[in-house]
A and B are shown apart, each in its own frame.
Chain A
């Protein structure tokens, strides 16, 4: 057998061996059909190559591309699957931290928390990477204020180095047009990634961002960006595959600095998607320079349509006494925004938890809510939805300003649909924050948009995810009975989860309907309002609307919430026992 086909055969038998050890029961039908497709295209490809002779280079290129995008799709799916239980871990850990722990236990829980957050970050990077590979990450082309974007990025970077002795400097050719046409969010992503990378590897010294014009025609402008640092540098060998996925320069980079080795690969992919080029020069122990060029169109619009923020110097005093509730999960950002708002003499409430935030809204007259849209346990859209479905008009109508790096938030419809009044794009300057706070301070009688999708999650006085007081009363104080009921409840819930899972797989609406019906009473007895609402909706969707996608969504919500409820029940039972 010729070497080449022998290689192929040995690879095939490897695959076969792996398949023997693979548990196919765990595949979803979608994954299975994807697998089948991949094998079929492999087979067809082989046949075409040898017997059809029609296959040309372009075709095999196309197949190759679609294969890699299949793979990326799979990664995207898997990342999502990992994120869900991970959310549970993070949620549990948060809850655990609230119980009374010894010093040692607190240390251990902190360790779990930081490890799971690192894992979440890695998964997010993986997801971003796979989205890029699959071409799912769409580019926008809009007018934006280039100078302002650079200032914002540099402002954010400065906040990242407050703890280090690093000089950060930006030099920008002032001849670069103020308004350009392109994708601003991708540009800030590239810059933050590269500068963030430098910050990671520089102990002390300097980081410099230089931007010059290298090409100019009547319509276009070519910009060159240099990010130079005095960091640890990269060896010659390391440089060769620095932009490759999952590769880091030195083998011990990960152990020293962590990371996935995806950051630079993501940057390179984005730059190339934007029709730019990226390169690196570096000397070990001296530092590195990452250089990339990007083309932008000039704007025809000389009068800048992009919103200009006039400096609000001196207007800070108007903010005095304003009560601001901030949903933000990143600790650095938390510290930053608290510090800033308190400087302006605002009263600040900080949290990353829906329940805590909703309690604050109940007990304080909050003037405005700042909402980070991307939080691990419950995202900002979800919390906004809960606020907007409150029975209390004052809570329901509180102005909500979204904090986001997602430029598609520019879409007014999207804001309206989610019940968001206004937004601030990250990274943002203090002036912008003042401007938005003032603009939303006076909004009275804001009517929440009518087309907002609300769940029936009502927020009421003393709202908690579970309440055992009434059922305990019904048990006439018999702890044994209560514990038995709780045991039954958990069994029922597990049975429900199992049945619905199978029901979704088999598209069996009737089975789902029965499962939902059966668990309803128990949920009401335990006063788990959110779970009851999810199940009520699952029941409705399986009985009349027959929408499997929605059922799956609701079911995922149920599972997420249930893990918290189960823990909360145990905590409640312990509390009642102590009484």
Chain B
């Protein structure tokens, strides 16, 4: 049996995060939920997940900084999907410039996110 893919979900919005992690787990992923930049950094210093889904606005450490950290410090190419609030096109652009693979707008449809996550993982 294939091992479950590990997914890091970084989002400080409890409501959205609970819903998404529930659906991703149902979809067969091992989800690790982190609520702020500090937790994310700690986790990444010990573990390398298969894919990262991150919100842009987070306490301590924004999603943009997270991408920068993963690509330029950890030198990792793991897929990163960014969750953006509507009207934050600028942030999405800088996320892509720094190496984000995909983005999805709030309010996030869990089913759509599942499809996007699977698509990114299939590419690798």
Contacts and interface: CB of A to CB of B under 8 A. Distances in A.
B16 A521 contact: yes
A474 B107 CA distance: 12
> Which residue, B14, B15, B22, B107, has most C-beta atoms of chain A within 10 A?
B15
A481 interface: yes
A485 B26 CA distance: 17
Nearest to A522: B15
Contacts, number: 45
A474 B18 CA distance: 11
Contacts of B110: 474
Given A476-B23, A476-B26, A521 B18 contact: no
B19 interface: yes
Contact of A488 (B15, B26, B106, B111): B15
Contacts of A139: none
B106 to A, nearest CB: 5
A478 B19 CA distance: 11
Given A471-B19, A474-B19, A488 B109 contact: no
A481 B18 contact: yes
B13 interface: yes
B15 A485 contact: yes
B15 A520 contact: no
B107 A525 contact: yes
Contact of A524 (B22, B57, B106): B106
B107 A485 contact: no
A87 interface: no
A576 to B, nearest CB: 16
Contacts of B18: 481, 484-485, 488
A478 B23 CA distance: 11
The majority secondary structure among interface residues of chain B is helix
Interface in B82-124: 85, 106-107, 109-111
The majority secondary structure among interface residues of chain A is helix
A520 B18 CA distance: 16
Nearest to A474: B110
Interface string B19-62: 10011001000000000000000000000000000000100000
A484 B18 CA distance: 9
Contacts of B23: 474, 476
A190 B110 CA distance: 63
> Which residue, B16, B85, B107, has most C-beta atoms of chain A within 10 A?
B107
Contact of B22 (A481, A518, A520, A522): A481
A161 interface: no
A521 B18 CA distance: 12
A335 interface: no
A521 B26 contact: no
Given A474-B23, A481-B22, A524-B107, A517 B57 contact: yes
Given A474-B109, A474-B110, A521 B15 contact: yes
14 contacts: A474-B23, A474-B111, A481-B18, A485-B15, A517-B85, A518-B13, A520-B85, A521-B16, A521-B85, A521-B107, A522-B13, A522-B16, A525-B19, A525-B107
Interface of B: 12-16, 18-19, 22-23, 26, 57, 85, 106-107, 109-111
Interface of A: 471, 474-476, 478, 481, 484-485, 488-489, 492, 517-518, 520-522, 524-525
